[in-house]
Amino acid sequence: MRVRTRSSAIIGTICLVASLALTTASADEAAAPRPAAKVALTNVATAQNPTAGAAGPGGKVWIAERAGTVRVLGDQGLSRPVLDISADTTTDGERGLLGIAFDKRFAYFYISYTDLEGTSTVDEFAVRNGKIQPHTRRTVITQTQPYANHNGGDIKIGPDGYLYIALGDGGSGGDPHGYGQSLDTLLGKMLRIDPRGGTPYAIPEDNPFVDDPNARDEIWAYGLRNPWRFSFDAVKGDLWIGDVGQNDWEEIDWARADSEGGENYGWGQMEGTHPFRGGTEPANHVPPAYEYDRTNWGCSVTGGYVYRGKAIPALKGQYVYSDYCDGTVRSLQLKNGEVTGMTDLGVNGGEVISFAQGGNGELYVLAIGGSVFRLDPAV
């Protein structure tokens, strides 16, 4: 794929957001209903405020800690830090080390954090023989943040090999600057860039707004408030985003793997499927695949993953997620491209801040207080 290079390093991390109905179910997902999955949370390690995880070299899961350290999960728990940028980050508000990702060959490692001025920053390191090479560190993209909340910051390498970055709307409350619907800013967006294609990065030629002089070329999707954890289905390639609501509605968005980008998830005109403060629904609004209100439980969705492991067959093909304020791990059942139901999996991880997917497809649940759980079959 041809790319157009860009010389300015202007961006940062994104907050998750999202989209539509749901993915076309594969044969195993569309078959006769399976019994509800019986699961357990196994505490496999204790970290210092874990915020993100990624599958790394040798099948190991790497865990990011908010203050700026990264450790590797092994049979005996977490290693000593393999990376420490604590002198370069700040943890006021919702800031810190917020995301990590490897490229497909485990040749490069990416970190997403807020620097000492609160600027969202994505840095790259070369990896050799499974080890980070500190001297190769370079900044890929930055984005100034007007407030200390809604930084987003999750990052992933997509099935296409490009780097996706989730950025929130800049913070405060109610999107006071209208960044969610403004295409001339990276805030409130999902970005898609080629970090190795240019200096400091390149823009994929098929990004949806490359021919729009009034829009930033890096934008893949927009209308996000605080996309808090996104992922790609390891089998289908579909994009899933957990977008935190303002006061009333939490939403989970979805985009098909063959999407050409450009989805408008509606914020700050919409909160889920509901007009926000008298807002008008955009004509191109992509409604969430699932939403829930705050009347009974929860107040801040934590996006997860479609389960593709082997340990819990009854959970296969379901989207697993949680809520920071509630902590219960839940799943969405999918059939023929629609959400057919939600299941309370009967386990609670506390203040669930993130999920991680191992190289074998098994899932880990991270609680900001320190617990690193593995999602296992119940005995």
- 224 token code pair: 């996000």
- 164 token code pair: 């996706």
Distance, CA of 136 to CA of 113 (rounded, Å): 17
Going by C-beta distance under 8 Å and a sequence separation of 6 or more, which residues neighbour residue 105?
none
Predicted local distance difference test score (pLDDT) of residue 337: 64
Q: Please check whether residue 151 is in contact with residue 145, taking contact to mean a CB–CB distance below 8 angstroms.
A: yes
Q: What residue ranges of the chain have pLDDT lower than 50?
A: 1-32
Partners of 194 in beta bridges: 202
DSSP secondary structure string, 337-366? TEEEEEEEEEEE-SSEEEEEE-TTS-EEEE
User: Which one, of 100, 176, 138, 160, lies nearest residue 9 by Cα?
Assistant: 138
* Helical (H) or strand (E) element with 29: helix 27-30
Q: What is the largest CA-CA distance in the chain?
A: 58
In this prediction the pTM is: 0.91
102 φ, ψ (degrees, to nearest 5): -110, 150
Q: Which residue has the tokens 């609680």?
A: 367
Predicted local distance difference test score (pLDDT) of residue 336: 65
Predicted local distance difference test score (pLDDT) of residue 5: 41
Predicted local distance difference test score (pLDDT) of residue 109: 98
Predicted local distance difference test score (pLDDT) of residue 20: 28
Q: Please check whether residue 256 is in contact with residue 25, taking contact to mean a CB–CB distance below 8 angstroms.
A: no
Exposure b/e, 225-260, CB count within 10 A at least 16 = b: bbbbbbbbbbbbbbbbbbbbbbeebbbbbbbbeebe
Q: Please check whether residue 97 is in contact with residue 66, taking contact to mean a CB–CB distance below 8 angstroms.
A: yes
Distance of alpha carbon 328 from the chain centroid: 19
